[in-house]
Amino acid sequence: MLKKRIFFFTAILTVLAACSPNAPTIQNDTSVESEDELVARALEIHDRVLTFDSHADTPLRMIEPGFDMAERHDPNESGSKVDYPRMIEGGLDAIFFAAFVAQNIRDDEGNSRAKALGLQMIDAVIASTEANSDTVGLALTPDDAYALEKEGKRAIYLAIENGYPIGDDISNIELFYNKGVRYITLVHSTNNDLADSATDSKGPEHQGISPFGEQVVLEMNRLGIMVDVSHGSEEVFYDAIAVSKAPIIASHSNARAVTAHDRNMSDDMLKLMAENGGVVQLTMLSDYLRDAPENPERDAAVAALRAGMKPFGEMNQEERKAARAAFNELNEQFPVPAANVNDVVDHIDHIVKIAGIDHVGIGCDFDGGGGIDGIFDASEVMNITIELVRRGYSEQDIEKIWSGNLMRVFRDVQRIAAEIQSSNV
Ligand SMILES: [Zn+2]
């Protein structure tokens, strides 16, 4: 596998060498490095560090009949952003596949449907890792990713995005843990029984995390599941810091001071995240990365299209296909310049300035809306490393950003769970 990857990088270098100007780059030590040399150095670093993407909604694709993770998909044709061949191409070593269940009615029937769908996606991920055991492995602890990397395999971790499948039954959390789930995003785009969303048009319902949500956080602490506050309201973030006995994560969120969006984190939140020992994982959604140029005609067309559509999570396969085609057509009619890797590293620079180098990571949100110019799918994630190297980040810093920080939180969460469990005996 390693050979294959190096071959791929060599291929990339050849392409880059053919099309990039040999503009000299001034390094910190004032020696002159050409663009080609810089890219080559960045790709070597990218290959050496463990690269870990903390958020992809790929399980949503994995339950589609006929979708094969071992096959390379064309992202423009299929909309798919992650499969095993493209993880290899991009030098992406580890990933959290989040079983995303869209929020729906909060009664017994809705809750049990959500749980069944969550389990269906989790089982699809497990089955896929078993069917592709020569390429990937299911990972449960931080050490697993490093062991799999040594074998030349990708590490596949499980998460749940939206606590809806927990329903009102706290014992479901242990069931999910036993399946391999290692973080849970408390809430999604609308409020649920656990917590308020950052984006619910109805406004807050619990003023943060609900009393049941607090029990859920403590149970996650006991088991060793990371608490993910992405999508939660500001109050959810502050409540999670106060309630959780272990550091928390934002699996896919950006900096609000750089791009004003309710899904992004204020400087105050970033500072508190640093005090908490947690980590903010940068995400590749254009709207969270840069201010979109104003386009009222497009906005009206998007609103009209959305008004006639069910929420994506409630659509069947045919409806999803039709929705994707409709949005593709709209995008062609009203193109919007996507964010690019400069925007991503602007956010990283800001988080480093406010929270420090130990509290930032990468969570692309592929297959959940993530994908920008130059980091469109899993095969292009090395472009983040290239830009980090260009801006003077050291290999040690890049290792922290790509996995070290998230792994530190992951280890802390598991250590604290062991302490809680041994003190309970
Ligand atoms: Zn999300």
With CA atoms as reference, report the closest residue to 86 among 181, 5, 184.
5
- Are 222 and 156 members of one domain? yes
pLDDT more than 70, % of the chain? 93
Q: How many domains does the chain have?
A: 2
The values of phi and psi at residue 120, to 5°, are -60, -45
In a domain, 121, yes or no: yes
pLDDT confidence of residue 19: 45
Domain boundary among 310, 336, 362: 336
Q: How far is the CA of 229 from the centre of ligand 1 (A)?
A: 10
Q: Is the pLDDT of residue 424 over 90?
A: no
What is the pTM for the complete model shown? 0.87
- Are 321 and 402 members of one domain? no
Q: How far is the CA of 81 from the centre of ligand 1 (A)?
A: 15
pLDDT confidence of residue 29: 55
Q: How far is the CA of 368 from the centre of ligand 1 (A)?
A: 6
Q: How far is the CA of 264 from the centre of ligand 1 (A)?
A: 12
* Three-state secondary structure readout of the chain: CHHHHHHHHHHHHHHHHHHCCCCEEECCCCCEEEHHHHHHHHHHHHHHCCCEEEEECCHHHHCCCCCCCCCCCCHHHHCCCCCHHHHHHHCCCEEEEEEECCCCCCCHHHHHHHHHHHHHHHHHHHHHHHHCCCCEEECCCHHHHHHHHHCCCEEEEEEEECCHHHCCCCHHHHHHHHHCEEEEECCCCCCCCCECECCCCCCCCCCCECHHHHHHHHHHHHHCCEEECCCECHHHHHHHHHHCCCCCEECCCCECCCCCCCCCECHHHHHHHHHHCCEEEECCCHHHHCCCCCCHHHHHHHHHHHHCCCCHHHCCHHHHHHHHHHHHHHHHHCCCCCCEHHHHHHHHHHHHHHHCHHHEEECCCECCCECEECECCHHHCHHHHHHHHHCCCCHHHHHHHHHHHHHHHHHHHHHHHHHHHHHHC
In a domain, 163, yes or no: yes
Q: Is the pLDDT of residue 337 over 90?
A: no
In a domain, 274, yes or no: yes
Q: How far is the CA of 396 from the centre of ligand 1 (A)?
A: 29
- Are 75 and 173 members of one domain? yes
pLDDT confidence of residue 315: 84
Query: How far is it, in rounded angstroms, from Cα 211 to Cα 335?
Result: 45
In a domain, 412, yes or no: yes
Q: How far is the CA of 70 from the centre of ligand 1 (A)?
A: 24
291 or 133, greater pLDDT: 133
- Are 170 and 308 members of one domain? no
In a domain, 108, yes or no: yes
- Are 217 and 310 members of one domain? no
Q: How far is the CA of 91 from the centre of ligand 1 (A)?
A: 23
244 or 7, greater pLDDT: 244
Q: Is the pLDDT of residue 153 over 60?
A: yes
Confidence bin at 28 (pLDDT 50/70/90): low
Q: How far is the CA of 7 from the centre of ligand 1 (A)?
A: 34
Query: How far is it, in rounded angstroms, from Cα 346 to Cα 372?
Result: 14
Q: How far is the CA of 188 from the centre of ligand 1 (A)?
A: 7
- Are 85 and 223 members of one domain? yes
Q: How far is the CA of 161 from the centre of ligand 1 (A)?
A: 7
With CA atoms as reference, report the closest residue to 286 among 370, 170, 228.
370
Q: How far is the CA of 56 from the centre of ligand 1 (A)?
A: 8
Q: How far is CA 304 from the centre of its chain?
A: 29
- Are 349 and 249 members of one domain? yes
Q: Is the pLDDT of residue 5 over 50?
A: no
In a domain, 23, yes or no: no
Find the mean pLDDT for residues 281-299.
Answer: 91
Q: How far is the CA of 1 from the centre of ligand 1 (A)?
A: 31
pLDDT confidence of residue 327: 87
Instruction: Give residue 325's domain range.
Output: 298-336
- Are 166 and 62 members of one domain? yes
- Are 78 and 201 members of one domain? yes
In a domain, 3, yes or no: no
Q: How far is the CA of 49 from the centre of ligand 1 (A)?
A: 26
In a domain, 2, yes or no: no
- Are 315 and 192 members of one domain? no
Query: How far is it, in rounded angstroms, from Cα 265 to Cα 306?
Result: 27
Q: How far is the CA of 410 from the centre of ligand 1 (A)?
A: 20
- Are 184 and 329 members of one domain? no
244: domain CATH number is: 3.20.20.140
Q: How far is the CA of 252 from the centre of ligand 1 (A)?
A: 7
Domain boundary among 313, 336, 359: 336
- Are 201 and 106 members of one domain? yes
